[in-house]
Structures are given as structure tokens and as C-alpha cells.
Structure 1
């Protein structure tokens, strides 16, 4: 007898937009959502990289988008007539405690990590309401626990968690919104941090980053992408307003 059970976590016929989609967690997410059957819109400042990735994925399209600029977001989303999934992934980091964080740097982190989530989500909201869609915000363990020398970053990721919960309360039946809080993930983002701040001791600091996760390794972009796929799927429709850690046990301690 032929097995009639459908494949789990399929996203056939759905359109997904991923910000910062051309590298790291964003690129892995685009690949995973495409594998699940979604048409992926890869939104990134780096249009060349986004276009290169789009050419590898069936039905994918690259969109030039500066997530800090309302006009850029409006222009990009003006090309989109249907949207079922929004992944707010674009973000930056900053090292420094409160005494070593300039006002300019603090503002920049909040603009890229917080203001952008507001702008992109607000602009995409009519499309998401029309489709009863799903929003995934990429937060961080830094929004749940204090991380040394990450004052601005912790502040920004705490705000992402708060926005997630608030929208879920205002629109509990109209759409779903959840936040994923990764631990340290092996991405160009992390490599850039090591190059900038620890060029003379990269392997020592990398070992320290690994040690923060009790499981004994860094996360992979694919680890995060798998959870994003699940949260967007029909099987996850009872999950709403949640902040879900995916951190190798870091915040369990």
C-alpha cells in the first residue's frame, strides 16, 4: 500500500522573504525554505551575492534592500504581490561595555537590529495579513541573558524579543510571529568579529566561543534554518509569540 502521509514541514506555494539573505544564517535559510518548496525572495544590500544565490534556487529572486531605509524597503516590497513568510534576519554586532560604546555606535546597532525589524515588518504587514502569514525574527541569546562586552547588542536583541511578543498579542488570530534566539553560530558574522577584535588570538577566542555552548560546538547556519522551516510550517501553527532558544544548552544553565 502506498504511503499517503505527506512530507512534513512543506512550504509549497508559499512566498518567503529573508532579509540579509545572501550570507550566513540568511543564506542557509533561503536554501532550506526553497528545499521545502517555497519561492524565496533574497533581500540583501549585496545584490550581487543575493543574485548568485537566487540562481541556485528554483524560483528564487534577489531583491536589493537596505533594511535601515524606508524608501529602499518600500521599493523592494513594491515588487512583491504575495508574501506568506517574513524572516527578519539582517543584523550587526558590536563589542564593548557601556563605558566603551559610543552614541554613534549604539544608534547604528539599534538602527540595523531593531529599527529595521519595525520598518520591514510594518511595510510587509498588509501582505502578511492577507495571507495569514508567519514572521520569524532572528534574535539571540543576548536578548535573554547578559553577554559580557555586548552592551548595545544585548539591548537590541532584547528589543527584538519584546516586539515579537507584542505583535503576537495584538494580532493573535491574524498571523503568527515568533523569535529564534541562537547561541554562537559559525558564520561570516562571527569570523568578522574574530578578525576585527581578536586577530592575534583567533583560535583561543574561538575555543572560548565554543565553550559557551555546553554541547561543545558552535551552531551551524543549517541548525537555525531547520528551526525556521519548522516554525513557518503548518505543523507549528500552535506556536505563536514564542522566543525559542537554539543555543546548545547555553541558556539552560
Structure 2
């Protein structure tokens, strides 16, 4: 589905980002693993087949020069940039009363500014090509708001606005911009939840189970591929029906 395509995936050294990168490679893409943890990015790239399939780039997504360098690494190594997945993220959960200004700023910077920088850098290349797909990883938290996540919910809701505005700006050049909103996904982070909290969250899902990282990755694959050639400015929920 992505033969001879090249992609950058931020925050791809592990978790959902790694699942996305792996799925893109399995479908023929060559991928830049862009992650602030350079050592983990190197290991991820090797796990995906090495330089013929994936390369690693250290990247702080809040740094415009680092983001531009990741995009440049993709075009220099693989000849194009066809897919940009803005996935990098952090959490700094706390109630509104206890959250520090620094924790609010950090989450907004990584999720929202980072995706804006990634979208802008990718668009510069894709506009000239006359094609490309940008996928922003939002969250169901950005749809409904979660207690203890005023920073995270704000950032993830902001990604929806960014996606729709950028989609309108770039459509005439053949560049599509869409977003994915995962719900409860089985990752290292959610695996650390107390059993009673986990069970309560699962009980909110009409499908009766948590999602797998590969299920998010498959939705990204659809948006990255020509199967979604007439889809832009859309938000796809991968949440098993939670909060519909």
C-alpha cells in the first residue's frame, strides 16, 4: 500500500509510534524514526530492518530546527517525504488546582506546537511534490476532556483545529491532513494502571475491550495510503465506541 513511499514518524521509538512505524514499513514504506531518545530510536530502526527500511534521528519536536532536520533526513535518505505522522507526546497529569504552569506548558509544547512544527516542515516539501499525507495523533481526551488532564485535553483538542485549518490550506496542492483519536489502548503506560481503574475504563467501551497499538497503526495506514485519497480534514476515532 505504501511501496516506494517515505515517512517520518515522531515519537516512534516505542508504544503507538513504534507500531505505526512498523506497520508503514510492513506495507512498503521507508521510515524515519524521529524520537528524543536517540538510543531507543536506533534500536527501533534496527528492529525494523535497518537502513534499507528505517533510520533513526534524534528529534525534540519542540525545536523547529530538529523537526526540519528530521524531514531533511527523510528526503536525503529516501528521496521524498510522502507521509508525516505527528505522534510524539508526553503526559503531566494533575488536577487543575495542583498542576504547575510548567507542566501545562510542556504538554502544550510537545503535543500541539510539536505537531504544528511537523505539519509546517512537512508541508514545505509536500507542496512542492504536489502530494502527501499528514496524520496528527490526537486523543479521545481531546473530544470529551479528562479529569486531571486540562493540559493534555487542551493540546489534543487543539490538534483537531490544527488539522482542519491545515487541511484547508494545503488541499489545493494535493496535500491531505487528518487526525486520529485513540481511546483506551493497551500500552506500557496503561498497563501500569491499577486493576480497578483499568476495569472501570474498559467498562466504558461498548466493544468491551481495550484497543491494541496495531489498531491505531492500521487507521494511520489508511490515512497515509491512497485508500483515503479523497479524505482530508477528518478526525477518525479508534476507541471501540467509547464516548460516542
TM value normalised by structure 1: 0.88
User: Which of 96, 117, 134 is 2:94 aligned to?
Assistant: 96
Task: Report the Cα distance in structure 2 between the residues aligned to 1:93 and 1:208, rounded to whole angstroms.
Answer: 20
Q: Given the alignment of the two structures, is residue 67 of structure 1 paired with residue 61 of structure 2, yes or no?
A: yes
Question: Match for residue 74 of structure 2?
Answer: 80
**Per-residue deviation at 1:94?**
3.0
Question: Which SS does the other structure have where 2:60 is aligned?
Answer: coil
Tell me the equivalent position of 2:203. 211
Deviations 1:121-174 (A, max 9, x none): 212221122331000000011111122222111111010000000011112232
Please say which of residues 230-239 and 50-59 is displaced more in the overlay.
Answer: 50-59
Q: What's the CA shift for 1:96? A: 2.5
1:40-189 matched pairs, under 5 angstroms: 40-58=31-49, 59-81=53-75, 82-131=80-129, 132-174=131-173, 175-189=175-189
For the pair shown, the structure with the greater C-alpha radius of gyration is 1
Could you list the structure 1 runs, at least 4 aligned residues long, displaced by more than 3 angstroms after superposition. Answer: none
Count of matched residue positions in the alignment of Structure 1 and Structure 2: 235
Contact 1:85 1:232 in 2 (8 A): yes
- Asked if the contact 1:245/1:251 (under 8 Å) is kept, the reply is no
Give 2:241's aligned residue: 249
CA distance in 1, matches of 2:8, 2:100: 33
Q: 2:225 aligns with which of 212, 218, 233?
A: 233
Asked if 1:37 is matched to 2:28, the reply is yes
How far, CA to CA, are the matches of 1:231 and 1:70 in structure 2? 25
> What residue is the counterpart of 1:198 in the other structure?
none
Any gaps of 5 or more consecutive residues in structure 2?
none
In structure 2, do the counterparts of structure 1 residues 78 and 231 end up closer, same or farther at CA, with 3 Å as the change threshold? Answer: closer
